Amino acid sequence: MAVVREGRVYIPAGSSSTGAYLNSLISWSEGETSWNASHASLHTARRGHCTVLCGGYMWVIGGRNSTNSHLDSLEMFDFDKEEWSVMQSLSEGLSDMGCDCYNRHIILTGNYGYGSYSDNVYLYDLDTDFWQLSPTKLEQEVQYHVSVIF
C-alpha cells in the first residue's frame, strides 16, 4: 500500500516479480522520470502489510515474511530523519488488513491470520506506543480490504 506526503508517493516493502520479499522504500513525485530507491530500508522484509500516514509518520504494520509467517511487527518511518524505528508489536501476527488514522490512533480492521479471516478491530495509540483489541467487532470477517476515514 502506498501513502502520499507533500505530493510524494511512498511505497514500502512488498514482493518483486521473482517473488522475493522486499524491505525497500521507493518514492516518486510528479515530474520525475524514475522512482527514487535511495531511502532507508525497513528492518523486516514483508508483503501483505498495511501502510498508513499518521501523526506525520509512515507506519508499516504486520504482513508476511519470506517463510509466509504472519508478522506482529510495527515500523515507523521518520521522514525528516530518513530512518525506520521498530515500535510496539501487535499481540499476534496479522496480514491482509485495512488500516486508517484517526485522532492520533491507527485503526486496524480485519485481517488474515493463521488460516482464518477476522472481524477484529485493533487500536494503536501513537502517544503511548500501545496496541489494544477493541471490544467492537466488524459486522463480518474480512481480509484484503481497504478502509478510508475522511
Supply the pLDDT for residue 138: 56
Residue 89 within any structural domain of the chain: yes
Residue 150 within any structural domain of the chain: no
Supply the pLDDT for residue 150: 44
Average pLDDT for runs of 10 along the chain of length 150: 93 94 97 96 96 97 92 97 97 87 89 67 94 73 49
| Alpha carbon distance 150, 30 (integer Å) | 24
* Range(s) of the domain holding residue 88: 3-133
Residue 145 within any structural domain of the chain: no
Classify residue 96 by its DSSP letter: S
Q: Is 31 helix (H, G, I), strand (E, B) or coil?
A: coil
Residue 49 within any structural domain of the chain: yes
Which pTM does this prediction carry? 0.89
In Å, what is the CA distance from 134 to each residue of 28, 54, 108?
Answer: 36, 19, 10
Residue 11 within any structural domain of the chain: yes
| Alpha carbon distance 51, 110 (integer Å) | 14
Say how many domains are in the chain. Answer: 1
The CATH number for 30's domain is 2.120.10.80
Farthest CA pair distance, the chain: 47
| Alpha carbon distance 7, 49 (integer Å) | 23
Residue 146 within any structural domain of the chain: no
- Do residues 60 and 78 make contact, with C-beta atoms less than 8 angstroms apart? no
Residue 19 within any structural domain of the chain: yes
- Do residues 133 and 124 make contact, with C-beta atoms less than 8 angstroms apart? no
Residue 44 within any structural domain of the chain: yes
Supply the pLDDT for residue 39: 97
Q: Is 46 exposed, middle or buried (0-12, 13-18, 19+ CB in 10 A)?
A: buried
